[in-house]
Structure 1
């Protein structure tokens, strides 16, 4: 684990969804502030930050985001329709917002601290029943949604992948993102899957 605190400045994109590290998030951009942001990120090969909206909406006045989000890096784009930019992003490090600013074009920017992940550890034996379900989902969805590498031996990666696909309220997804304990995240997910009788496979 990296013990050095990393503080960086990022443009923010508050959304009605949660991005997890290594997750794939396609976006359709049409507001000038976000078109400009994406163009700048692609030109300079720099990321932006995605945070779940706590108050407000995706369009119009700047929304109030949750403090914990994830870095988003643009890995693909298409502008086949005038005025619309379709981008594909890949989740990077989690971060916590320290300061947030609203620019004249209503784009938000923030100074954030990047959050360390725990050392790689395997899925605990008591929670191994989650793996067949995730493996089946990954195989069915394909690499467009779950690009390589697939780290089924990493409790953090497994927890993030399950957290992003569970049919749960977005605020619950946000709480799973905020957890620093990978095993605790998996235990919560395991309890949900067990309660809804999903551990034997997809219904």
Structure 2
């Protein structure tokens, strides 16, 4: 299936929410199409050191289908939206349209297995609960099932202050328990 691609310096995973500010015509048109057709677009991570203003945006091939869950006009013609991750996808063949919008053939990735969060990762659940109490995160109204290792790993991947490449590596993992192990080591190295 063909989807519009929205390259950013951020990630979102299934069930996650991310506030965005749209002001470029290509992305406002993308949003209009998405809302009218009820078709998601794909959020992909820009490669480090790249920007989407160049002739060719370079981004990672694994991203997430997203849908708009809220929007509101801001100052100076900027539109604020909040997107929610639906499912991880692979961008098989990207291209850039004349208007500058990136598109690609998108293939949904297999759903990660729902796996109970092991007791040994109770500290990660506590850390996530503390992060979710922060005002800007609380405003996103994330409903986290702390007994689901996928959700704990996904939310920590989105919320922890990680390097872009670390974040993308976690996005690309398909084993929730492996992701929690890596996150545990990353958190230890931050302390």
TM-score (norm 1): 0.86
CA contact (8 A) 2:11 2:44 kept: yes
Pick the aligned partner of 1:130 from 124, 132, 140: 124
Deviation at 1:71, TM superposition (A): 0.8
Say which structure is richer in helix: 2
Conserved 8 A contact 1:47-1:71: yes
In 2, Cα distance between equivalents of 1:128 and 1:81: 42
Q: Aligned residue for 2:85?
A: 91
Residue in 2 aligned with 1:19? 12
| Aligned ranges 1:35-46 → 2 under 5 Å | 35-46=28-39
Match of 1:153 among 129, 147, 161: 147
Provide the C-alpha distance between the structure 2 equivalents of 1:41 and 1:165, rounded to a whole number of angstroms: 26
Quote the residue 2:160 is aligned against.
166
Gaps of 5+ in 2: none
Among 57, 60, 65, the residue aligned to 1:66: 60
The structure that has the greater radius of gyration is: 1
Cα offset, 1:82, TM superposition: 4.4
Residues of 2 paired with 1:129 and 1:147: CA distance? 19
Q: Confirm or deny: 8 A CA contact 1:70 1:94 kept in the other structure.
A: yes
Runs of 4+ in 1 over 6 A off after TM superposition: none
| Match of residue 10, structure 1, among 3, 6, 13 | 3
- Report if the CA contact (8 A) 2:113-2:175 is conserved: no
- Is residue 69–residue 84 contact of structure 2 (8 Å, CA) maintained in 1? yes
Q: Which moved more, 1:175-184 or 1:54-63?
A: 54-63
Structure 1 unaligned regions, length at least 5:
1-7, 198-203
Q: Distance in 1 between matches of 2:82 and 2:127?
A: 26
Using the alignment, how far apart are the partners of 2:179 and 2:169 within structure 1?
9
Q: Which residue of structure 2 aligns with residue 108 of structure 1?
A: 102
Within 5 Å, give how 1:160-199 maps onto structure 2.
160-197=154-191
